[in-house]
Amino acid sequence: MNRACKAAVLLAVAAILAAGACHSGTPSASGTTEESTIRGTVTVQGKPATGGGITFDPSNIHRKDAEVRTAAIGKDGSYTVTTLVGENMVSVQGKGVPTNSILVVVKPGGVTVPIDVP
């Protein structure tokens, strides 16, 4: 392969890599430190959970050191927690609760987020 061909191949590879770096198809992650209070009810197979805990993890590439937020689940399945606005990975812990994790987008101003564990 002559020098001109090698240069053309390298240029083509560089163009492909640059195009991939511009748009990876991954949604952007929030870097905000704004908080919102979330309320809701946890149900397990349609019935209110009677205890345990719920965890909201707001960490991402822009908030690597964001603290995990936890709350106790009341006897009626209710919970209240304050976490960062944006995407949070939510998991529920408790007796008889299968391992689970869902993505919840937390909005500013406080919202109600019901969590149903199948």
Point out the residues of the chain with pLDDT beneath 70: 1-28
Does residue 24 belong to any structural domain of this protein? no
What domain range includes position 42? 35-117
* Strands 86-93 and 78-84, sheet pairing: unpaired
Does residue 39 belong to any structural domain of this protein? yes
Does residue 94 belong to any structural domain of this protein? yes
pLDDT score of 30: 75
pLDDT score of 1: 54
Predicted structure pTM score: 0.71
Question: Looking at residue 67, which CATH number applies to its domain?
Answer: 2.60.40.1120
Does residue 41 belong to any structural domain of this protein? yes
* Rounded distance between C-alpha atoms, residue 93 and residue 67, angstroms: 18
pLDDT score of 28: 58
Write the single-letter amino acid at 94. G
Q: How many domains does the chain have?
A: 1
Does residue 77 belong to any structural domain of this protein? yes
Does residue 27 belong to any structural domain of this protein? no
Does residue 3 belong to any structural domain of this protein? no
Does residue 10 belong to any structural domain of this protein? no
pLDDT score of 3: 52
Cα torsion through 53, 45, 105, 27, rounded to 10: 120
